[in-house]
Amino acid sequence: MIKVLFVCLGNICRSPTAHGVFQQLVDEQGVGRQIQIDSAGTHAYHVGKSPDARSQKAALARGVDLSALRARQVCPEDFDEFDYVLAMDESNLENLREICPAGQAAKLELFLKFAPQLPEQEVPDPYYGGGSGFEHVLDLVEAASKGLLEDIRQNRL
């Protein structure tokens, strides 16, 4: 089983969106039983809370239901459990590097590495912006999810 962890700041906008979109993609592609997905935040601001209502609304408009997800904080044990630890931006990546145990850093990547066709390298935090920011996050996440699944198929399955 391949295990993927998506990480953002508070685990209520970007990483649960990636979690839900990628889960739907792997299920649609018939590999849902081979890939386990989770999401977490680098900070404990929203532990136990549902994804942001704006994230849920934007995702649901594209057929992705995030309502069952709950925020949690990333922990050092995650680096042992997951094969991919994917950060939404450089700040998240730096926070992950600070708690990453020795020998596990190769698992850390920016999520948008899997969408090299995009001009962006980071998934921007839509929390303080308008609704269009959540749509943009979905666009980026959908593109990177396809690339990630292709990478897993080529290198892990």
- Active site amino acids: 8, 14, 125
Structure tokens at 134: 């959540």
d(CA 88, CA 141): 9
The 3-state secondary structure of 70-100, one letter per residue = CCCECCCCHHHHCCEEEECCHHHHHHHHHHC
19 close to 11: Cβ distance less than 8 angstroms:
no
10 close to 45: Cβ distance less than 8 angstroms:
yes
d(CA 112, CA 95): 17
